[in-house]
Amino acid sequence: MNILTIVSAEVDEGRAGDLVDGFETLLAGGLPDGLLETRLLGDGQGRWAIHSLWRDRAALDAMRASGEPAAPALFRRFQAEPTLAVMRVVAGSERP
């Protein structure tokens, strides 16, 4: 079963370009095993989230055991304290 993580934080909109650059730098370094896709979302008012879709809970747990996860670390670089939600994907638009 796929797992979706949602890491959210407030970062001053004046730092938006730096935050986007930081996220793109993370992507350029390659994705950890089991990370199917990830996106940075912003509302234009300083609220940001990184949504990451994982193959399964085992892949997420393996990444978390290997050191500080990248999404929270990115937000902390901007003096933001992130929150984390971990959710099971129970239905979706994908078709086999």
- Cβ-contact 57, 42 below 8 angstroms: no
Is residue 63 a part of any domain in this protein? yes
pLDDT of residue 95: 64
CATH label of the domain that carries residue 80? 3.30.70.100
Is residue 96 a part of any domain in this protein? no
> Number of folded domains in the chain?
1
Nearest to 85 by CA among 52, 47, 55, 59: 52
Is residue 53 a part of any domain in this protein? yes
Q: Which residue has the tokens 């994982």?
A: 54
| Mean pLDDT of all residues belonging to the chain | 96
Is residue 67 a part of any domain in this protein? yes
Strands of the sheet containing 35-42, edge to edge, are 35-42, 47-54, 3-10, 83-88
What is the reported pTM?
0.93
Torsion angle, alpha carbons of 17, 23, 29, 33, to 10: -170
Is residue 94 a part of any domain in this protein? no
pLDDT of residue 94: 77
Is residue 68 a part of any domain in this protein? yes
Is residue 9 a part of any domain in this protein? yes
Is residue 95 a part of any domain in this protein? no
